[in-house]
Amino acid sequence: MAEITKRSEDYSRWYQDVIREAELADNSPVRGCMVIRPNGYAIWENIQRTLDDRFKELGHVNAYFPLLIPKSFLAKEAEHVEGFAKECAIVTHHRLKQTTQDGKTDVVPDPESKLDEEYVIRPTSETVIWDMYRKWIQSYRDLPILINQWANVMRWEMRTRMFLRTTEFLWQEGHTAHATAEEGRAETLQMLEVYRWFAEDILAMPVITGTKTANERFAGAVETYSIEALMQDNKALQAATSHDLGQNFAKAFDVKFQPPEGQVDHVWATSWGMSTRIVGALIMTHSDDDGLVLPPRIAGTKVVIVPIWKSDEEKARVCEKAQALAAELRPVVGAVHVDDRDNLRPGWKYSEWERKGVPLRLEIGPRDLEKETAMAKTRHDRGKAFIPFAEIASGVQRELDRVQQELYDRAKQRLVENTHTIDSWDDFLALFEKQGGGFAMAHHCGQGDCEQTIQDKTRVTIRNVPFERDETPGECVHCGAPSIGRVVFAQGY
């Protein structure tokens, strides 16, 4: 095991070290892409499973749409193509041809295989999905359509960082169609609330919900909503978004329906998504200088049991009990692992599982068998408790619940302590240039030019306009014009 850089020394290097030591992901041979290792993918599977269950409870169903999108589709929605044009990868040929020159063999696109129309590798799927909705929707009886897909997308990024910003990433993208603007807006806000619930209740990550400004709005949306989290380096991370698309895509792809009475109208649309970026947010919200820290509700492995022995006879007895306890725990708490490797000392195992972020460790040796008690140690605070074998399920669940709550409380306290009410431009600059940043609740005029000027000067952006905010009249922190109320400023990922 290698050393983990301290957060105070180099936060970016610390983040990479945590990923490496927890065996979450590796860089791939393709620049900007990553290989998600089993430990990292187990977290993503739990994210999928939890969100997917919630989506289906609300009436959504899963489907799958093609990875390749005809280039002409992107041109149908002007704002959409403008927003993604610089990030698109293009497929131009469908076959390679082997060549040999100066004794060296290579493969090149076969000129005879050039496509009549080039394809874009999806940066998002609105266009191809709405082309299909045009075929599926004729009447109000066909509405609403509530579809989600779990997929990969590609956005050509210049500067990448594992999980946070990669050229290819995994996500879910919901795409729904409705008969009225009110239904579409209600769907958009409902899904934002799902993301808030998931971030706070499952990931133990407090967030601020609100509306994105016009400058930060999704390309082609009427309104974009987001949940914004604060990382330990006091930078913000957009954890999920939900978009009210109005009738923009329906008009671009001529998706109409016949209502019970009245004339044919275009349908109303939404889209919403969360990606593997949320794994990066999870790492940076809870982990410490010793490695990964995970909330129990999302951890791939929730409990590890480490048997301790000196003789073969002791090994047989403690390993048998460890397996029995694991079998009792799994139906109650989920994934439990017994580390009975005989080529590593217990201390080495403790360190390994701590770096991998397992929330709770149970240690069982010959003396514990005599006392019929396991020693439990929690990862986030190194707390110690003794749990009788007879109460193992309830005792372990109690400890896991404590870990989950304390991680949320700790992150919430950090968010509150690093959220500042700012009323002057000098204080604004001081916060981000001298005091380490955080969330700044400051008045803003609502003008896009002013917002862009602030960003150009400071690299600070408006994260969102919070639903719960101070609307007391004031003056813009930058230009002094009348304010629309306080908004959330921060430097972000």
- Indicate whether 327 belongs to any domain: yes
pLDDT band at 78 (very low <50, low <70, confident <90, very high): low
pLDDT band at 212 (very low <50, low <70, confident <90, very high): very high
Q: Which of 358, 382, 406 is the last residue of a domain?
A: 406
Residues 16 and 145 in one domain: yes
Residues 245 and 319 in one domain: no
- Short-list 143, 140, 130, 91, CA closest to 114: 91
Q: List all residues 6 or more positions away from 287 whose beta carbon is below 8 Å from its beta carbon.
A: 18, 293, 357
For residue 265, give the CATH number of its domain.
3.30.930.10
Q: Cα angle at 402 between 400 and 406, to 5 degrees?
A: 120
Residues 349 and 245 in one domain: no
pLDDT of 83 reads 73
Residues 260 and 319 in one domain: no
Number of independent structural domains in the chain: 3
Q: List all residues 6 or more positions away from 86 whose beta carbon is below 8 Å from its beta carbon.
A: 156
Return d(Cα 92, Cα 82) in angstroms, integer.
Answer: 21
pLDDT of 220 reads 87
Residues 381 and 441 in one domain: no
Tokens 């295989």 correspond to 113
Return d(Cα 354, Cα 348) in angstroms, integer.
Answer: 10
pLDDT of 103 reads 82
Mean pLDDT over 196-221 rounds to 96
- Indicate whether 291 belongs to any domain: no
Beta bridge partners of 149: 173
Residues 334 and 449 in one domain: no
- Indicate whether 130 belongs to any domain: yes
Is residue 81's pLDDT more than 90? no
Q: Which of 406, 437, 462 is the last residue of a domain?
A: 406
Q: List all residues 6 or more positions away from 50 whose beta carbon is below 8 Å from its beta carbon.
A: 198, 202, 297, 298
pLDDT of 159 reads 85
Residues 231 and 172 in one domain: yes
Residues 309 and 163 in one domain: no
Mean pLDDT over 49-63 rounds to 98
Residues 265 and 323 in one domain: no
Is residue 478's pLDDT more than 80? yes
Q: Which of 230, 255, 286 is the last residue of a domain?
A: 286
Q: Are 319 and 340 in contact (CB under 8 A)?
A: yes
- Indicate whether 148 belongs to any domain: yes
Query: Which amino acid type is present at position 274?
Result: M
- Indicate whether 341 belongs to any domain: yes
Query: Which amino acid type is present at position 9?
Result: E
Model pLDDT for residues 383-437, shown as the tens digit of each residue: 999 999 999 999 999 999 999 999 999 999 999 999 999 999 999 999 999 999 9
For residue 324, give the CATH number of its domain.
3.40.50.800
pLDDT of 91 reads 95
Residues 59 and 187 in one domain: yes
- Indicate whether 282 belongs to any domain: yes
- Short-list 202, 282, 185, CA closest to 242: 185
Model pLDDT for residues 29-42, shown as the tens digit of each residue: 998 999 999 999 99
- Indicate whether 37 belongs to any domain: yes
Is residue 105's pLDDT more than 70? yes
pLDDT of 469 reads 83
Q: List all residues 6 or more positions away from 54 whose beta carbon is below 8 Å from its beta carbon.
A: 194, 197, 198
- Indicate whether 441 belongs to any domain: yes
Query: Which amino acid type is present at position 108?
Result: V
Residues 396 and 431 in one domain: no
Residues 346 and 466 in one domain: no
pLDDT band at 278 (very low <50, low <70, confident <90, very high): very high
Mean pLDDT over 15-28 rounds to 97
For residue 462, give the CATH number of its domain.
3.30.110.30
Instruction: State the residue range of the domain holding 473.
Output: 419-490
